[in-house]
Amino acid sequence: MVRLIALTSLLVLSIPIAFLIYADDPYTIPSAGSGRNLSKQCAQVDPLRPTVKNDKLEDMERILASDGFRNQSIKYLSHAVQIETQSYDDMGKIGDDKRWDTMFTFAKYLQDTFPSVHKALNLETVNVHGLIYTWEGSDASLKPTLLMAHQDVVPVPDSTVDAWTHPPFSGFYDGKYIWGRGSSDCKNQLIAIMEAIELLVSADFSPKRTVVLSFGFDEEISGREGAGRLAPFLHDRYGDDGIAAIVDEGANFEKVWGTVFAKPGVGEKGYTDITVTVRMPGGHSSIPSDHTSIGVISELITMIEANPFSMRLDEENPYLGQLHCGAEHAPDFPSKLKRLLSHRSRKSKARTCKAKSDHLALEAAKAGPAIKYLMQTSQAVDVIGGGVKVNALPERTSAIINHRINIGETPKDAAKHVEHFAKMVAEKYNLTLHAYDGVKEAPLSISLSMSDTTLDVAPVTPTNVDKETAYKILSGTTRALYGEDLVVTPAIMTGNTDTR
């Protein structure tokens, strides 16, 4: 089992991983992995290697290091990218909308490419295109490990194809990167899982713990038909807390501060979409009102964008763990960050006072947006619509604002944020504000509503390594594969998955 998780994180370039623990089922590992170089905040686990004696398994180290293996992995992922498994926001019912049918092609590709997997594992389909593979373990008392990925990719508008350096579904390999939708989100992880198990089956390896693979097909549109159906299917089979651990897409490898970090994601931001609808009188554009619904909602959007959420690095935020790891193990960790980190550790009250600026977060955020939004609730106006004719005043205009909720905050905080500015605009233009009250729309009003996919911040996976946790297994195995110079650190990513 250790080997399986290790290979899953290794194959096909760099594989993003999230690691969410759902149970206290301990993993049994050799006592040699007891942990050395233990620091106060960022203990590093000893490299953990299999104790099973198997000539074929031991020969796998040579296989993984070979050019032949690398070239084969590139080919597998390249061909997977060429299958256009796009999921659109307006997808119809499965069976009615032919755009779903490309998933059949992808499933057939997996079957043809990984014959040993399909021979050794039991394959079941859920809601036509959801794929469940079960590799039965020898010890039924152990809860299964669940490996996840999704088959679908974000669509590519036809009008943007010419802007690509290489076509978005070419799977072109330029000697360093594989180009195309899904090459990093997340057919790479799916192919890595399949390739890992294909090799393990070929090496006559049998897991002690059951391994379940769950591949959704609409993660990019919130996963309702894919993971949304796969989850209850697995729950019916294994029950409450029936899964030991989940490995899904998430954070990545990163070279920073003179050190390479492996960053399993151990948490996930919250999520909500807030729809703003402005209803105002129509009329002819030759005798317009001073402000149309488009103008009013534009003013509201401008106010919201001019007032971003505060930067805050909560004690539960996994990125704080990476800062500690950097301070303790990275030679080029900035001295100012180290001072702020040390000061924060001594001043426990300062880190809970939201009225004060979080200087540690502000300094860390200078690294760029990818770091900034690990510590800040994001807000992005992504969809807007209003007006139907050039000479008719728009009676209705709406916009959807996407939020990814920071650790330590809630979707309600985002709702109040939008409501605060909507109230100001409503009063200015003598409009009634309906804020999350069930009234979707009314004449002369601004209405606010939250999406059904609203999510609280996910619970953070325990990362202690003084116990035999799954995080410890992953850490030790990763260091065994990549070397002891690698630092394993807790992490979080700015987006969301269908791991929920």
Q: Of all residues in the chain, what percent carry a pLDDT higher than 70? A: 90
Which residue out of 46, 185, 218, 219 is catalytically annotated?
Answer: 219
| Residues spanned by the domain of 174 | 2-266+459-488
387, 303: one domain? yes
- Composition of the chain by helix, strand, coil, percent to 5: 35, 20, 45
45, 168: one domain? yes
102, 194: one domain? yes
Question: What pLDDT score was predicted for residue 40?
Answer: 67
Q: Kindly state whether residue 494 falls inside one of the protein's structural domains.
A: no
Question: What pLDDT score was predicted for residue 2?
Answer: 33
- Dump pLDDT digits (tens) for 282-315: 999 999 999 999 999 999 999 999 999 999 999 9
Provide the 3-class DSSP secondary structure of residue 180: coil
For residue 274, what is the domain's CATH number?
3.30.70.360
260, 343: one domain? no
Residue 389 has pLDDT above 90, yes or no: yes
Confidence of residue 142 (pLDDT cuts 50, 70, 90): very high
Q: How many C-beta atoms surround the C-beta of residue 290 within 10 A?
A: 6
d(C-alpha 297, C-alpha 274), whole Å: 13
Q: Kindly state whether residue 499 falls inside one of the protein's structural domains.
A: no
* Active-site residue flag, 395: no
DSSP 281-320: ---BTTS--SS-HHHHHHHHHHHHHTSPPPP---TT-HHH
The CB-side HSE value for 493 (13 A sphere, CA atoms) comes to: 18
Residue whose token pair is 């106006």: 381
Residue 64 has pLDDT above 50, yes or no: yes
236, 108: one domain? yes
238, 258: one domain? yes
Residue whose token pair is 């299917």: 233
- Cα angle vertex 209, ends 9, 267, to 5°? 45
What average pLDDT does the structure give for the chain? Answer: 89
From 60, 212, 67, 50, select the one nearest 130 (Cα to Cα): 212
Q: Kindly state whether residue 497 falls inside one of the protein's structural domains.
A: no
Cis check: omega of the bond before 353, within 30 degrees of 0: no
Residue whose token pair is 């609730």: 377
164, 134: one domain? yes
Question: What pLDDT score was predicted for residue 348?
Answer: 55
The CB-side HSE value for 320 (13 A sphere, CA atoms) comes to: 23
pTM of the model: 0.85
Tokens of 251: 């954070």
* The length of the chain, given as a count of residues: 500
Question: What pLDDT score was predicted for residue 252?
Answer: 84
The CB-side HSE value for 176 (13 A sphere, CA atoms) comes to: 0
User: Mean pLDDT, to the nearest integer, of 139-158?
Assistant: 95
d(C-alpha 189, C-alpha 176), whole Å: 17
For residue 467, what is the domain's CATH number?
3.40.630.10
User: Mean pLDDT, to the nearest integer, of 40-46?
Assistant: 87
47, 163: one domain? yes
129, 253: one domain? yes
Which residue out of 46, 152, 248, 273 is catalytically annotated?
Answer: 152
41, 9: one domain? yes
Question: What pLDDT score was predicted for residue 453?
Answer: 85
Q: Kindly state whether residue 500 falls inside one of the protein's structural domains.
A: no
Q: Of all residues in the chain, what percent carry a pLDDT higher than 90? A: 75
Question: What pLDDT score was predicted for residue 352?
Answer: 52
Instruction: Work out how many domains the chain is built from and give that number.
Output: 3
d(C-alpha 192, C-alpha 208), whole Å: 21
Residue 29 has pLDDT above 80, yes or no: no
159, 63: one domain? yes
92, 215: one domain? yes
* Active-site residue flag, 96: no
Q: Kindly state whether residue 498 falls inside one of the protein's structural domains.
A: no
Residues 6+ apart with CB under 8 A from 51: 30
Question: What pLDDT score was predicted for residue 297?
Answer: 98
User: Mean pLDDT, to the nearest integer, of 131-157?
Assistant: 96
Question: What pLDDT score was predicted for residue 381?
Answer: 97
Question: What pLDDT score was predicted for residue 207?
Answer: 94
Residue 137 has pLDDT above 80, yes or no: yes
The CB-side HSE value for 196 (13 A sphere, CA atoms) comes to: 24
d(C-alpha 312, C-alpha 360), whole Å: 9
Residue 228 has pLDDT above 90, yes or no: yes
Q: Kindly state whether residue 496 falls inside one of the protein's structural domains.
A: no
Which range is least confidently modeled, 11-20, 200-209, 278-287, 338-347?
A: 11-20
The 10 Å CB-count burial string (b at 16+, else e) for 387-415 is beeeeebbbbbbbbbbbbbbbbbbbebbb
Q: Kindly state whether residue 404 falls inside one of the protein's structural domains.
A: yes
Q: Kindly state whether residue 495 falls inside one of the protein's structural domains.
A: no
